[in-house]
Structure 1
Amino acid sequence: MKLIELLLSVMTDKVTALESQEDSNEGNLFCSKLMMKKERVNVYTKGIKKFGHWFNSSKLLEYIGRQVDIRYQEDYINKLYVYSTQGLFISEIKRTEPYG
């Protein structure tokens, strides 16, 4: 019985450590998103045009002809985080055009 209690204790400690790490990662991601550039843009049939390239996702279909807010890192312009104008997360999207 002691062995089972010991194993349960070790497993509980590992799960707690993983949950703590996930909370920390989410906090870091939240902070980094706050520091990203934010901009309101139009959604077209081809998606969102930014930095001279198109970004698209099926999650943007209901937003065609409307505006959304995007966040992006200035030093990594291959990915956009898209939010509704009310602040609800829609999708993380990458460039749909070939690189180069």
Structure 2
Amino acid sequence: MNVRSSQAPQNTVGRYKIYGLFGGGVLGSVIGVLASGPNFFVWSPAQSIGVVAGLTMGMAVIGYFFAGLVVGDSAGDGASAEGQKEMNSTVGGGSAADGADGGGVGD
């Protein structure tokens, strides 16, 4: 296998994880400002800043992992390797251990 071909999906996944990090952070900031805006005069400044910062960091982490999973799955870097192994083991009608004859048409 070519080193470059195996590195391409990893580079793509890494790049999209960064996109997810920043995209989630921006989305979290917007949600935080919208959530603390109506309560600006009710809450203390520290509480308003805490809400905005907490939502920013929380959404950034969620965006990082979400983008890594979505792009990793479509890039085929093994993010869902267990699911792929399970799928490959069931293709063909099952195994001899579960009582099947291994599958195939006309057996």
Give the alignment's TM-score, normalised by structure 2: 0.37
Query: Computing the radius of gyration over CA atoms, which structure comes out larger, 1 or 2?
Result: 2
| Greater share of residues in helix | 2
Give the alignment's TM-score, normalised by structure 1: 0.39
Higher RCO, Cα 8 Å, sep 6+:
2
| Greater share of residues in strand | 1
